[in-house]
Structure 1
Amino acid sequence: MKKYLLGAFILWSSFSLAQAQQVVELNLNEALEYALENNAATKNARLELLISKATIKETTAQGLPQLTGSYNFDYNPKIPVVFLPNQPPFGDPTNPSDVLPARFGVSYSSGLGVNLNQMIFDGSFFVGLRAARTLEELTNKDLQKAENDVVENVKKAYFGVLVNQERIRLAVANLGRIDTLLKETKALYEAGFAEKIDVSRIQVQRNNIYTQVQRSQTALEISKQILKVQMGMPIEYDILIQESLKEINAQEDVMQLMSDQGRDRIELEQIATQIELTGLDLKNNHAQYMPKINLVGNMRRNGAGNELQTVFNSNNWFGSSLIGVSMSVPIFDGLAKSARIQKNRIQISQLENQRMYLKENFKNELYTAKSNLRNDLYILEVQKENLELAKEVFEIARIKYQEGVGSNLEVVEADAALIEAEINYLGSLYDSLISKVNLEKALGLLKADLTN
């Protein structure tokens, strides 16, 4: 966590001036480090970890001495009446009633005391303390899971921005190419070497490409907004990506992933910790059958008086104290503890089944991720070859048209085929990047590059 805080501090320092213009320059690692510190999910997971640490302190406090102070001040407008039998030798023969009313007490009374309670033996206390520490382990694993999810989402959003930037670059290049062709065709038309339909055909193609540029601009802005949301960055800032697709899609990295055996998934560690927690709850319910022994003690001083000014007279105050041991032994609770124990055992069986299911599911996920990446890389190579061929076809068609041995229609069709090849290539490139992230997730390696 300290590493992330330091990284975030360096990141903010590096573009503090850029923030004044609401522009943030970053690469993938900087985006991930920023997201790990600022995404709402990871922030809440870290707060949950702090809560679990406080829970350990709270549980530990139950085994420490418990001291409480008390003070009271009472006024009796009417002192309660106690009835005594009117019988000899203490009876009143002049009173015809068989009882005698007597008032025992004073109008004002006050007291000050301190009570002590110290646990001597409670089987559930030590189990609860261990459970609190295990809960901290679980929340720490929950934090790791939240960080993995953030890394996955940020990477996918980041790649979306890169692909849209590349799409704009290609669309602008297409627009420049078609503008040049349109200018040349207009010149040929004015010189009488081309027909009006040739100009119109290229103009239509130019309008289509211009529309594509506008759509790509909108898609880029949307993808940036998605990335900022995943990072936890304010939407007021603009994002400027420093990397290119080639820099983050090295072939050797992909090949290394395909041969990697991966690590244990954090989800399995979460399940294992949940099983341990449920087992501790089972032990706690067994411990409820054992007696509880406490040391108790108190010291108290009480004072009283018939008049308010005499209540606090030192002659009217008297002290008392007590020290002893109390023990409570459970006898019968209607089989409630037995029911809780049975429930714990069933919960452990459920978690064991879930762990078994996850293990098999993760094996399938890994196989699927490697198969998808392998297939996407193959399709990417095919689309890359198609793109090179489309460029070659367009150049040939353009040269033939300029030399007067080709038609304008061939050039427009070749340009449309080139644009389609570019779109297919970028789509395949994005699919391969997403498959790469999915494989990193299946291998349990999403955060490996950040924790090394």
Structure 2
Amino acid sequence: MALLLFWSLAASAQTPPATVPPGGTFTLEQCLQYAVRNQPVLRQARLDQEVNEADIRIGLSDWLPQVGVTADAQHFFQLPFTVFPNAEGVSTPRQIGLKNTSTISLNGTQALFNNDVWLALRTARPSRRFYQQNTAVVQTNVVANVSKAFFDVLLSQRQFQVFEADIVRLQRSLKDAKARYDAGVVDKIDYKQAEIALNNSLAARKQALESVNAKSAYLKQLMGLPGEQPLGLQYDTLRLERDAVVDTAAALDATNRIEYQQLQTEKALQAAQISYYQYGFLPELSAFGTYNSVYQNNRLADLYSRRFPSSFAGLQLALPIFQGTRRLQNLRRARLLDTRLDESLTAVRNQINTEFQQALATYKGYYADYQLGKRNLALAREVNDVVYLQYREGVKPYLDVIVAQTTLRTAELNYYVALFQVLTSKVDLLRARGNLPTNY
């Protein structure tokens, strides 16, 4: 069974690198696909899996026969003496043997029961699972961080577009105020106020543009995208609004969280360690065999002209009797660590529940802000259109126009902030529940 298991191990294939879409414009899914394949931290986690797979194979290789060849040659300048009794019973030293000797030996051993090898076999599956889960943790973090960074860049882009539209409105208002001032209808106050408001929006647009550049650089870093590679984002606002909705009534199951599953895997590894120390009281059994070819001759040139073969096989049993209670203390320590893992499972379960409740509360709060912001935006647009028409008819003063435009701009900014806060908090909520999609 051990041999079959050894030969059935398959090396994990590296994930092929993702390519940049035409034009360098990414959707959220394409950002995630690229990050999953190119993020250095995630690729390191996959390499750790392969290193662990190699370690498993190294441990399981001890189940296979260990075969080796040794060879030696020696020349006696003086043959050794051996004492033999002669016919009278007197011990007489005699030189025996030949001056030139060479031995070639083929040696082999096979473990029949070895506690260290059994430990490698028992821990192979949970160890492989642990590193797969470690990769899943890293991949979850990458997906969550890239998603939130994507939404952060979109927010700055939408803020930039809000100021762009505000500048267009203010330029139109400035033109109207200047024309009314030149016609002598109003004094220069309206004209100056319009110019001040326009300058403020121009400065705010510049800040938004720089924010887009900085946040895009951070998104590239999270994706593993080279800094010189252009990055454009493609999205659908209506789809984003649909994606903002999530089922808040879904119950929490802590076992869905990969961190909890990792602790369960550690429990399995610790159980194997306990078994290792329990089986440490059993003897080790191995088989061995040797085939020797011995060559002897007084003339060096004829050393290999005649061969004297020999061979043997046997079993070896090794049982350590007393090790100063080391095995007992190791067993006690392993059981204590297992109990500690039980406490860690309880602590993590409580932590997961807290994270879920916090993420759920945050999402609900942001979703309420989003709904209110959407309604306020519709009202602000209506008010701005009416006030501006009334101003052109001479019914409203220019101060009301400034207030209406400022309210509209604030409503637009608040709406987009709320929308992307909802999308970001949804990522945190799905992650807290252990339901964040990571297969890209």
TM-score by length of 1: 0.85
* Contact kept? 1:228, 1:235, Cα under 8 Å: yes
* Contact kept? 1:79, 1:104, Cα under 8 Å: no
| Aligned pair partner of 1:271 in 263, 269, 276 | 263
**Alpha-carbon distance between aligned partners in 2 of 1:149 and 1:79, rounded to the nearest angstrom:** 75
* Contact kept? 1:124, 1:287, Cα under 8 Å: no
**Alpha-carbon distance between aligned partners in 2 of 1:131 and 1:231, rounded to the nearest angstrom:** 34
2:243 is equivalent to residue 248 of structure 1: no
**Alpha-carbon distance between aligned partners in 2 of 1:437 and 1:3, rounded to the nearest angstrom:** 29
> 2:127 corresponds to which residue?
135
2:440 is equivalent to residue 426 of structure 1: no
Q: How does 1:170-181 map to 2 (within 5 A)?
A: 170-181=162-173
Indicate the SS of the match to 1:172: helix
**Alpha-carbon distance between aligned partners in 2 of 1:446 and 1:154, rounded to the nearest angstrom:** 13
Indicate the SS of the match to 1:319: strand
**Alpha-carbon distance between aligned partners in 1 of 2:80 and 2:69, rounded to the nearest angstrom:** 31
> 2:52 corresponds to which residue?
52
Indicate the SS of the match to 1:113: strand
> 1:199 corresponds to which residue?
191
* Contact kept? 1:162, 1:245, Cα under 8 Å: no
When residues 183 and 107 of structure 1 are mapped into structure 2, their CA distance, relative to the original with a 3 A threshold, is farther
> 1:61 corresponds to which residue?
61
2:360 is equivalent to residue 370 of structure 1: yes
> 1:39 corresponds to which residue?
39
Unaligned stretches of 5+ residues in structure 2: 1-11
Q: Given residue 224 of structure 2, which amino acid in structure 1 is its aligned partner?
A: G
2:303 is equivalent to residue 311 of structure 1: yes
Q: Which moved more, 1:30-39 or 1:406-415?
A: 406-415
Identity %: 25
2:179 is equivalent to residue 190 of structure 1: no
Q: How does 1:50-449 map to 2 (within 5 A)?
A: 50-74=50-74, 108-250=100-242, 254-255=245-246, 257-261=247-251, 264-305=256-297, 308-312=300-304, 314-315=305-306, 317-447=307-437
**Alpha-carbon distance between aligned partners in 1 of 2:55 and 2:145, rounded to the nearest angstrom:** 31
**Alpha-carbon distance between aligned partners in 2 of 1:162 and 1:391, rounded to the nearest angstrom:** 22
Structural RMSD (CA): 3.0
**Alpha-carbon distance between aligned partners in 2 of 1:332 and 1:221, rounded to the nearest angstrom:** 69
Query: Following TM superposition, by how much is the alpha carbon of 1:243 offset from its aligned partner in structure 2, in angstroms?
Result: 1.0
Q: Given residue 58 of structure 2, which amino acid in structure 1 is its aligned partner?
A: E
Query: Following TM superposition, by how much is the alpha carbon of 1:74 offset from its aligned partner in structure 2, in angstroms?
Result: 4.1
- Deviation digits for residues 296-315 of structure 1 (CA, Å, limit 9, x no counterpart): 11112233455543433x13
**Alpha-carbon distance between aligned partners in 1 of 2:96 and 2:226, rounded to the nearest angstrom:** 74
- Deviation digits for residues 150-178 of structure 1 (CA, Å, limit 9, x no counterpart): 11111101111221221121111111111
When residues 79 and 29 of structure 1 are mapped into structure 2, their CA distance, relative to the original with a 3 A threshold, is farther
When residues 278 and 220 of structure 1 are mapped into structure 2, their CA distance, relative to the original with a 3 A threshold, is same
* Contact kept? 2:430, 2:436, Cα under 8 Å: yes
**Alpha-carbon distance between aligned partners in 2 of 1:391 and 1:216, rounded to the nearest angstrom:** 22
* Contact kept? 2:79, 2:99, Cα under 8 Å: no
Q: Given residue 326 of structure 1, which amino acid in structure 2 is its aligned partner?
A: Q
**Alpha-carbon distance between aligned partners in 2 of 1:417 and 1:304, rounded to the nearest angstrom:** 107
**Alpha-carbon distance between aligned partners in 1 of 2:352 and 2:308, rounded to the nearest angstrom:** 74
Unaligned stretches of 5+ residues in structure 1: 93-99
- Deviation digits for residues 241-275 of structure 1 (CA, Å, limit 9, x no counterpart): 22134312316x624x2122355211111111100
**Alpha-carbon distance between aligned partners in 1 of 2:172 and 2:187, rounded to the nearest angstrom:** 17
Query: Following TM superposition, by how much is the alpha carbon of 1:123 offset from its aligned partner in structure 2, in angstroms?
Result: 4.1
Query: Following TM superposition, by how much is the alpha carbon of 1:431 offset from its aligned partner in structure 2, in angstroms?
Result: 1.7
Indicate the SS of the match to 1:321: strand
**Alpha-carbon distance between aligned partners in 1 of 2:43 and 2:187, rounded to the nearest angstrom:** 66
